[in-house]
Amino acid sequence: MTRTALVTGSSRGIGQAIALAFAQGGYRVIVHGSKPSLKLDHTTTTVRSLSPESFSYPFNLADELAVTQACQLLLKKVGAIDVLVNNAAITRDQIFLRLTPAQWDTVIKTNLYGPFYVLKIVLPAMVKRRWGRIINLTSIAAKRGAYGKTNYAAAKAGLIALTQSLAYEVGRYGITVNAICPAWVKTDMSLSIPKKYRDQALSQVALQRMATPKEIADLASFLASDHSAYINGAVLDINGGLS
Residues marked active site are found at 152
Distance, in Å, from the CA atom of 173 to the CA atom of 59, rounded to the nearest integer, reads 28
The answer to whether 163 touches 177, Cβ cutoff 8 Å, is yes
Interior/surface letters 175-202, b for 16+ CB within 10 angstroms, e for the rest:
bbbbbbbbbbbbbeeeeeeeeeebeeeb
In terms of DSSP bridges, do strands 132-137 and 28-31 run parallel, antiparallel, or are they unpaired? unpaired
Helices (H), the chain: 13-24, 38-50, 64-78, 101-108, 114-129, 140-144, 150-170, 188-191, 195-202, 213-224
| Angle at CA of residue 20, ends 16 and 25, nearest 5° | 145
> Quick check: helix, strand or coil at residue 56?
strand
What is the rounded distance in angstroms from the CA atom of residue 109 to the CA atom of residue 116? Answer: 10
